[in-house]
Structure 1
Amino acid sequence: MIDIHSHILFGVDDGAKDLEESIAMARMASSDGVTHMIATPHFFENGTTSKTNLLQKIETLQRALHAEDIPLTVLPGNEVRVNSAAFIYTHAQQDHFLYLNAAKGFVLLEQCWNHYNEDTPEIVDFFLHQQTRPIIPHPERHYFFREQPQLLMELIHQGAWTQVTADSLIGTNGKEAADFSKWLLQQNLVHTLATDAHNVKRKPNLSAGVQMAKQLANEAQTRAILERMEQVIA
């Protein structure tokens, strides 16, 4: 399996606190059946880390995993927050953040927690015009998507994908997130799954989300979700 959203990278945001915790998370992910995990530290106003620093940390982590004989490949990425259109365009032009693959085919595009940014449709178009598909992480955890599903459906209609979190499907993120994630799945509006793992407690548990998807959706839907996750790193 491919985990396209995680905070496994140590010492850069609210994810793994040190290399040892990154290694522990990697061991959990590998034991869970994950072969590739994209490290997606947050990228937002007053919260940016240089690509050089992130790539160096990934190299350090990958060497440690090799030494520990943990068969997990960690790939570079960012979870880019929609602070404003100007913020996105400036940093995209200056190539400051990481996409989800080297070809810039996908970008993880996160909303702020306290409001829906009305620049989002314009930003989605911006990325689509440069042949990058935005993936909206954890929409089920945002109150404005739960209260106004049409906001999310309009972005999907434009061409964005969604990424529902395993913890939401299994109920760890609360009833509202669980109910909305299951509704999205039943409406065939879930394009990918991920863990959004942050530490050994908020842990990598992708298989649990996949199993729940298999219970709630048909086989073809589940297979399509897994294939899209593979497509992200292809």
Structure 2
Amino acid sequence: MGTYRLLLLAGLGVTISLVLALAIAYAVGSILVPWLAGESPGHSAPYSSVFKVEMPVRSFKASSTKGLIEFPVSDRINIITPQYVRCPDICHWETNILIALFEEAYKANALDRIAFITIGLDPWDEDLNLASTYQEARAGEWLKRGVYWAWIYDNITLMRDIWNEYRIYVEKDEKTRLINHFAGFIIVKDGKVVYVVVPTTEGWSKPANVAKQIWELVDELMKATPQDHTHH
């Protein structure tokens, strides 16, 4: 019953008013990672701000809902987002955007060229079983179609190392056990962060619009690297 109630919360959305939640989401999304300090958006639109970045990132081996993986996943464009299942609001909006991106990748026949990676934010109170249940509840049909969506949870030391590498702000509120964190989408290609996309207040409420903006960036990156038809 506890899992059912949790997934119901995840599916339905928020526990506070939409206006207040959007304001909180915008504030959280505005906690930009340190390496964005002083950067100018490469593209601004009503639904998101896009920061163009050239930052190499280390490769990690970590436990995930797809088993032990090495990421960023080689030979794929990686779309990385920080999330946790118990999140009362913004993480589920990130999922809505991810699902819209799954559809874009499917329509473009590009599922084998994209890796969607969720970096878990709550290794204290969550595990891979909970993450897998959430993924199945929210996107089971897309997973069956071949979407590569790995949710990473490992020991706290490794998770902190991953957060630091990707400059993901994470702070647990000891009273509520909720997580304050950076919210957005990190696009990685060839071992480098190339874009960071932060939805605006309006964008969080329009996942399909944000997904289209992200997909335009991904599509450009794919066109810059012709597909190897020998790769499966």
Q: Same fold (TM over 0.5)?
A: no
Q: Which has the higher strand share?
A: 2
Q: TM-score, normalised by structure 1?
A: 0.35
Q: TM-score, normalised by structure 2?
A: 0.35
Q: Which has the higher helix share?
A: 1
